Amino acid sequence: MIRDQYLRDVVLQLGKYRELAERALAQISEEQLFVELGEESNSLAVIMKHMAGNMRSRWTDFLTTDGEKPDRERDRDFEVGPEDTYESVMAAWDSGWQTTLDAVSALGWADLEATVTIRGEAHTVVEAINRQLTHYAYHVGQMVFLARHLAGAKWQSLSIPKGKSADYDVAKEGSRYEVRRP
């Protein structure tokens, strides 16, 4: 059924976004997690804190409470304090993803017809899921860009490197690339 396929694909796409971000993060140092390119820019740590806060708020009690929880202090996502260490940012990141994946994995096809609210605005469950998918894709793209900049010459492509398209075939069973063998 198409609804089941949709929910499976949502989990798959979320996993791809997380993997892409974490493969980018693996190419920088712990200190670089906190580097800002300019006064008005966000560090990787800030983006991760924001995503984690958003995930906790949106996906906790997803079907029964507003997606913007009253205890969330969104503006704090964009501040780095002494309590924000590499370990604490990574723990919040992991927790946010776990909350998200648990909530989406628990959904059934009948849930797709429900209505949920985010900041008091009604959304179908599909609209709410799609809203979050695009939000996460946006921030993961920022993370990859920033990590690539910070890694500099040691950066290893997360997809097909420039000029190498002819050397790769997309694997049929997933997001990995396989080198063509002559």
pLDDT digits (tens, 9 = 90+) for 47-78: 999 999 999 999 999 999 999 999 998 988 88
| 181, part of any domain | no
| 59, part of any domain | yes
Burial of 42 (0-12, 13-18, 19+ CB in 10 A): buried
| 165, part of any domain | no
Q: Please state the φ and ψ torsions of residue 124, each to the nearest 5 degrees.
A: -70, 160
Place of tokens 């993370």: 143
| 167, part of any domain | no
- Cβ(98)–Cβ(55) below 8 Å: no
| 91, part of any domain | yes
Query: What's the pTM value of the predicted model, to 2 decimals?
Result: 0.88
**pLDDT, tens only, 94-115:** 999 999 999 999 999 899 999 9
| 182, part of any domain | no
**pLDDT, tens only, 111-130:** 999 999 999 999 999 999 99
Return all residues near 47 (Cβ < 8 A) that are at least 6 apart.
139, 142, 143, 146
**Span 3-10, average pLDDT:** 90
Cα four-point dihedral sign 105, 16, 5, 7: positive
The pLDDT of residue 182:
41
Total count of domains within the chain:
1
Query: How far is residue 154's CA from residue 157's CA, in Å, rounded to a whole number?
Result: 10
* Domain containing residue 129: 2-156
| 147, part of any domain | yes
CATH number of the domain bearing residue 103: 1.20.120.450
Return all residues near 156 (Cβ < 8 A) that are at least 6 apart.
27
| 168, part of any domain | no
